[in-house]
Amino acid sequence: MDLTPTPDQEALRHECRQWLQQNLPWEYGQGLPPLFDDLAEEVAYLRKWQAALAEARFVGVSWPVEFGGRGAGPLHHYIVQEELARARAPELVGRLGVNLIGPTLLAHGTDEQKQRWLPSILPAEQLFCQLFSEPDAGSDLASLSTRAVPADGGWRLSGQKVWTSYAQFADWGLCLARSHPDEPKHRGITVFMVNMHAPGVDIRPLRQITDESNFNEVFLNDVFVAHDQVIGEPGNGWRVSQSTLTVERGTNPRQLVIHLQLLEELFRLAADTGRNQDPVIRQALARSYIEVRLFQLQNWRVLSRLAHGRDHGPESATAKLFWSEMSQRLHRTAMDVLGAAAPLWRGDPHNPGEGRWQRSWLYYQAATIFAGTSEIQRNIIAERTLGLPREPR
């Protein structure tokens, strides 16, 4: 693993840092994104921010130039993520399109499909969601029951999806559906790009324990999808979906950015409250620092593989397992640092961070579930990394 930056990479870091210093809506490295009571207002704010970043070509830097990227390598992408973390910049509201759906289209889409959808992703002109999980098919995704029936000029989709992030704001959704019911369950699946404004699409926000409604359940009621909205070959959707999931579970710049920011905030909070004088908390803080650094090194190792033309490999499951459980330990430490303020919520003057820590702690209770449960990741590690035999059934 060679982590020595090239002159080109150093130039990109300097360019990105300088742009952020000049364009952040607050003092570089000091302020935080505003809190919104209205999710629609937050999404509108973040779309403007992503559009500005994209115009400067700091979104999707590894994408081809013709679609708004820089045609750079994975290490260049990682450098930009590091600089965003250092500046404490807002997240990308279109991150599903940028990090998951866009790369899937680049790998499996036709030239016409790439021209149709990719240009709108980086500047957040259109938002995309992922229609994968179902009430009875999350960890065992191949058990999905959403049906795709051939129709004149395309397909008709019927079924229910759930845990769909930002579906109420999405223009398009990448959907898995069973198109060949007589085939084995890992075959017979097709990937469709669904117009989220089409007749028959019913989106119902779900209220979460964070008191937000970022997640949704989506009902597809005989929704028509044209032939040119099929991604990859009909019946070969499992292979297409694995491209998406491998990216989601492998190098995770988004989670790295978040945890670098959280770690910095946690150390500042501990110093401000004097809780860093407690030897038990001090040890927990040290552990958090070590684990975030390990996560960073783990990202670098996978990035080094990609830079040498190798794929993520089954080690992506190890990365997902580590960061999801690490995030929960970090947040337990944060609650210990807050002490008596831990049960408080927004609006309380005695609550450091205005409720951000409590919201983050609640959110990351699901970290061991979303993007593949810890149980599934352990199975993948056992079978594909360690080569252990499957338990007889």
Is the distance from CB of 34 to CB of 45 less than 8 angstroms? yes
Predicted pLDDT of residue 326: 94
- Sign of the Cα torsion 92, 94, 95, 99 reads negative
Mean of the pLDDT values across residues 220-229?
Answer: 98
Q: Where do the domains of the chain lie?
A: 7-93, 128-236, 250-385
pLDDT at 371 > cutoff 80: no
Q: What is the chain's mean pLDDT, rounded?
A: 89
Q: Residue 124: left (phi > 0), alpha (psi -120 to 50), or beta?
A: left
Distance CA 352, CA 34 (A): 15
Domain 128-236 coded CATH 2.40.110.10 = yes
DSSP 150-208: EETTEEEEEEEE-S-TTGGG-SEEEEEEES-TTS-TTSSEEEEEEETTSTTEEEEE---
DSSP H/E element including 224? strand 216-226
CATH architecture of the domain with residue range 7-93: Orthogonal Bundle (1.10)
Q: What is the CATH number of domain 250-385?
A: 1.20.140.10
Q: What is the pLDDT of residues 311-326, one digit of tens each?
A: 666 667 888 899 999 9
Predicted pLDDT of residue 250: 46
pTM confidence score? 0.85
Is the distance from CB of 294 to CB of 322 less than 8 angstroms? yes
Mean of the pLDDT values across residues 70-81?
Answer: 88
DSSP H/E element including 131? strand 128-131
Predicted pLDDT of residue 245: 62
Mean of the pLDDT values across residues 296-306?
Answer: 78
Is the distance from CB of 37 to CB of 160 less than 8 angstroms? no
Q: Residue 36: left (phi > 0), alpha (psi -120 to 50), or beta?
A: beta
Active site amino acids: 248
Most confident of 21-25, 27-31, 302-306: 21-25
Mean of the pLDDT values across residues 211-233?
Answer: 95
Q: Which residues pair with 195 in a beta bridge?
A: 172
Selection from 174, 91, 175, 170 nearest residue 127 by Cα: 170
User: How many residues are listed for the chain in this entry?
Assistant: 393
Q: What is the pLDDT of residues 31-55, one digit of tens each?
A: 777 888 899 999 999 999 999 999 9
